[in-house]
């Protein structure tokens, strides 16, 4: 992996998802697919995409002629403060967002098969490198993308979300393999549809992914009647970039209501959203952020952490951050007054783990009250040593603390931990914690570390200090299929290479004639290779070779009308080149 200043800042827990780009595994036909899509894109998108797209291709080091190498991209991306890494297909949404927060584009290393050249439901290098990368050259959009990553990576997912992610990944892997039996794909589609039907209330991650889809992936910008394209899913789909602007696709002004529109990755979208500006995207994102546990905290935040059934963090108003799997909450009048985690838990401050409070020390979980002391207006975290003594809270003495909620803590106060002058943790031995006659902590359980804070200020997904928590994203168990081509297909790829060699080095013209004869005899439906040969004969398009290639393409169109537009669009490029050469 070619590193740069941006990649050097990536936390360790994300690196487990990064793979080496399998550049030598791309076939000559893969490069031809890339070249066809990119030539069509630059021709058509120069007229309908946001103005920064074409300039962004140049700025981000995207080469039209061949699949880009991540090394080269990173050398150029560093100039705009970004980087790119290769990953194996779909990665968990939280990880995807976090990479984005660190200004790193994740690029699925595979490339779509020729039968999905117009659109693929799986992430691929065309979608990521040719779709996402060019637009980040626009500073205002890049700022939005990073902000989205920062907020989105803190969104709580549900247990159901993880099942949906696995189902989507499985389906995309099957569809990206041209040799997958149709029955296997249909089975995977049914399984995903079943999960979609079984979903109840959408999680924060599900909702924010809707916003991501309708902006970053499928966004339009400008005038509602005549918008421009900026979403990567549209920029990388030569089929949908055209159909998206047709009247049959409903155009809706983009606002917070887009969060309620679900999407289907397997088909074209029936409606799209139009933002007046990139700045407006950030305003809507900020509006959604105010709905999240990240900013709301309180009982809502704790409940979201519990519902996620995964590692989350609840931050006290004192700044103390508790990271673990939350299991229980006691509430009084709609406010949390006691929280509990199960299993390894860490205590942190400003996203750094506190010394002596790692997940090994709190290996069996953590529990603590929240709120003010009874009959006190000043929050406990702000008490001075003198004020503590006035309340009978004296270090190395037996003390009794009663909270306004009714939670009582009784034991020997062994230690007070302060950060920036505020009390974070009070440690007790021989401690009993009760609430309405219920024992919350028994002296026989050992040392009791009590978090201090009036309120739960924030709650978010993940650990506050992931590396110290030793958290990492496990690489996906199901890997993208390594395509094993038949000997016949390998021979076909060698023909694509001969045409590439001729285009690059002007080898023996007789090679083109040999390739064309092979197409006619062995691969009569190989339209893309026929187009590539015709392009090389453009200056001789009226002689026998060129006309025979055109006739073959006409025959293919008649047999396969579903690809007629692909062939016609390719012929337009060839004919435009011929005009330029006159």
Helices 510-522 and 544-559 pack at an angle, to 10 degrees, of: 30
What is the per-residue DSSP string for 520-570? HHH-TT-HHHHHHHHHHTGGGTTSHHHHHHHHHHHHHHHH-GGGHHHHHHH
**273 to 11, 123, 203, 217, 300: CA distances (angstroms):** 34, 21, 22, 11, 30
Report, as an integer, the average pLDDT of 23-47: 92
Is the confidence at residue 199, as pLDDT, over 70? no
Quote the pLDDT of residue 580.
Answer: 39
Quote the pLDDT of residue 240.
Answer: 87
Beta-carbon contacts of 527 under 8 Å, excluding residues fewer than 6 positions away, are 553, 556, 560, 563, 566, 567, 570
Quote the pLDDT of residue 537.
Answer: 80
Is the confidence at residue 295, as pLDDT, over 90? yes
Quote the pLDDT of residue 59.
Answer: 82
Where does 22-178 show beta strands of DSSP type E? 83-87, 104-108
Give me the residues paired with residue 371 across strands.
none
Quote the pLDDT of residue 322.
Answer: 98
Pick among 1.10.800.10, 3.30.1280.10, 2.60.40.2550, 3.30.70.270: CATH of 7-286: 1.10.800.10
How much is the CA Rg of the chain, to the nearest whole Å?
Answer: 29
| Residue 384: alpha-carbon gap to chain centroid | 45
Quote the pLDDT of residue 316.
Answer: 98
Is the confidence at residue 542, as pLDDT, over 50? no
Dihedral (Cα; 412, 392, 382, 291), 10-degree rounding: 70
Report, as an integer, the average pLDDT of 245-260: 96
* Gap between the Cα atoms of 121 and 168, Å rounded: 9
Is the confidence at residue 58, as pLDDT, over 60? yes
Range name among 230-234, 517-521, 548-552 with the lowest pLDDT average: 548-552
Dihedral (Cα; 572, 573, 576, 580), 10-degree rounding: -170
**Greater pLDDT, 323 or 189:** 323
**190 to 25, 186, 195, 228, 394: CA distances (angstroms):** 32, 6, 9, 35, 64
pLDDT in tens, 463-514: 999 999 999 898 888 999 888 899 999 999 999 999 999 988 877 778 888 9
pLDDT in tens, 332-374: 999 999 999 999 999 999 999 999 999 999 999 999 999 999 9
Is the confidence at residue 579, as pLDDT, over 50? no
Residue with tokens 């305003």: 283
On whether the CB atoms of residues 5 and 463 are closer than 8 A, the answer is no
Nearest to 549 by CA among 515, 506, 500: 515
Residue with tokens 């902000």: 147
Tally: H helices and E strands in the chain: 22, 18
Quote the pLDDT of residue 32.
Answer: 96
Quote the pLDDT of residue 577.
Answer: 67
Pairs from 189-198 (Cβ < 8 Å, separation ≥ 24)? 189/266, 191/167, 192/164, 192/167, 192/168, 195/160, 195/163, 195/164, 195/167, 196/164, 196/262, 198/160
Is the confidence at residue 560, as pLDDT, over 90? yes
């Amino acid at each position: 992996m070619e590193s740069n200043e941006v990649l050097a800042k990536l936390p360790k827990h994300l690196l487990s998802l990064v793979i080496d780009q399998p550049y030598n595994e791309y076939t000559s036909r893969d490069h031809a697919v890339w070249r066809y899509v990119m030539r069509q894109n630059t021709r058509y998108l120069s007229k309908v995409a946001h103005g920064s797209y074409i300039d962004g291709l140049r700025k981000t080091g995207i080469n039209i002629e061949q699949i880009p190498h991540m090394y080269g991209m990173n050398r150029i991306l560093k100039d705009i403060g970004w980087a790119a890494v290769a990953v194996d297909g779909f990665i968990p949404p939280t990880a995807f967002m976090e990479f984005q927060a660190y200004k790193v584009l994740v690029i699925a290393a595979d490339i779509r098969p020729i039968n999905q050249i117009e659109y693929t439901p799986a992430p691929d290098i065309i979608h990521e490198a040719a779709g996402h990368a060019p637009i980040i050259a626009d500073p205002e959009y890049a700022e939005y993308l990073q902000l989205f990553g920062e907020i989105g990576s803190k969104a709580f997912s549900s247990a159901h979300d993880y099942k949906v992610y696995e189902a989507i990944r499985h389906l995309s892997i099957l569809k990206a393999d041209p040799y997958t039996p149709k029955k296997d794909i249909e089975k995977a589609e049914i399984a995903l549809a079943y999960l979609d039907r079984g979903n109840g209330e959408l999680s924060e991650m599900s909702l924010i992914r809707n916003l991501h889809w309708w902006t970053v992936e499928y966004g339009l910008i400008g005038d509602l009647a005549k918008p421009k394209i900026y979403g990567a899913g549209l920029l990388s789909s030569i089929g949908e970039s055209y159909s998206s602007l047709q009247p049959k696709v409903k155009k809706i002004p983009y606002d917070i209501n887009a969060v309620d529109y679900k999407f289907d990755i397997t088909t074209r979208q029936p409606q799209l959203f139009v933002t007046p500006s990139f700045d407006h995207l950030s305003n809507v994102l900020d509006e959604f952020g105010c709905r999240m546990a990240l900013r709301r905290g309180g009982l809502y935040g704790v409940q979201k952490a519990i519902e996620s059934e995964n590692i989350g963090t609840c931050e006290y108003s004192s700044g103390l951050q508790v990271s673990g799997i939350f299991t229980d909450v006691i509430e009084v009048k709609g406010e949390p007054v006691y929280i509990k985690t199960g299993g390894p838990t860490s205590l942190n401050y400003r996203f750094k783990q506190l010394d002596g409070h790692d997940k090994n020390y709190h290996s069996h979980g953590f529990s603590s009250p929240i709120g003010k002391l009874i009959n006190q207006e000043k929050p406990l975290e702000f008490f001075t040593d003198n004020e503590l003594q006035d309340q009978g809270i004296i270090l190395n003495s037996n003390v009794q603390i009663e909270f306004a909620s009714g939670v009582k803590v009784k034991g020997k106060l062994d230690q007070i931990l302060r950060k920036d002058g505020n009390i974070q943790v009070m440690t007790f031995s021989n401690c009993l914690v009760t609430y309405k006659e219920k024992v919350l902590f028994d002296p026989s359980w050992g040392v009791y570390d009590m978090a201090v804070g009036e309120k739960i200020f924030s709650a978010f997904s993940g650990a506050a200090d992931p590396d110290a928590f030793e958290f990492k994203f496990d690489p996906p168990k199901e890997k993208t299929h390594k395509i094993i081509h038949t000997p016949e297909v390998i021979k076909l790829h060698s023909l694509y290479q001969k045409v590439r060699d001729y285009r690059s080095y002007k080898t023996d013209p007789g090679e083109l004639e040999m390739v064309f004869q092979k197409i006619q005899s062995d691969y009569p439906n190989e339209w893309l290779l026929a187009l590539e040969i015709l392009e090389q004969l453009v200056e001789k398009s009226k002689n026998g070779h060129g006309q025979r290639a055109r006739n073959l393409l006409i025959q293919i169109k008649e047999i396969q009308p579903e690809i007629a537009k692909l062939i016609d669009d390719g012929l337009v490029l060839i004919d435009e080149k011929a005009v330029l050469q006159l």
